Amino acid sequence: MSIPRELDERGRALVAGVWAFRARSEREAAARFGRLGRQLEAEDAAAVVVAMAQRAADDERRHVEICAELAARYGHPGGAVEEVAVGEIGPRGVGARERLLYEVVAFCAVTESINAALMTVSLVQATEPAVRAAVREILRDEVTHARLGWAHLSAERARGGGAGLAEGLPAMLAGTVREELFAPTDGEAVDPRLAGHGELPRALRVEVFVQTLEAVVFPGLEAHGVDASPGRAWLARASTALH
């Protein structure tokens, strides 16, 4: 396996760490989709949604291997990515069906929509062929995973569910702002070539995050009858910190 020589040793180490972190995140996503698939089936969710969740778990396991291989390509010494357990994130005090809806909206309609937007920009920025191939494959799947969230929201709204989603939007959105995603990458300011290897500058990540909320997530929620104003208010408060 050839080692990308465009970056110096420090740059390669940074990129290796990024892809290793993504491999762990994808393993977590695989575990979450596996659980969500079982819960959706138990709650008699639409058959197409259950099938999408089950397929998404397989997608994420494939993503683990893609990201781990790229991490190794850039010199990461880690071995196999361990299985992880992921807990539910829905609010307490509501029924199981509403907790499940909250988690599917948060993880799929919101987070995967943002991930798809970030991957779209990464594909434009990527210059390393192996990175471009990986990003293209992951992007294709993330778009489908986002659709899972919107499909389940649509079905549950038709059943009268989702009354508490608007109130929970601030907490839901705060949960998408991972420190690892928005913290400045050490050295990114002195080596803009990192974007060509899959690591976008922090300012661009924040810009994509905000634009996706404003252009995709909030309008999508409103189209399904969910008041997005608590989310817009959260974004207005968070914008100062994000920038």
- Helices 129-158 and 47-73 pack at an angle, to 10 degrees, of 160
For residue 223, the Cα-to-chain-centroid distance in whole angstroms is: 22
Amino acid letter, 101: L
Mean pLDDT for back-to-back runs of 10 residues, the chain (243 residues): 73 92 93 97 96 97 95 84 80 92 97 96 96 97 97 97 95 78 54 90 91 97 98 90 65
How far is residue 243's CA from residue 57's CA, in Å, rounded to a whole number? 34
pLDDT score for 78: 74
* Residue 221 in tokens: 């929620």
**Cα 123 from chain centroid?**
15
Look at the block and give the residue holding tokens 């969230």: 149
pTM: 0.91
The alpha carbons of the chain give a radius of gyration, in whole angstroms, of 18
Domains, the chain, with CATH or none = 9-242 (1.20.1260.10)
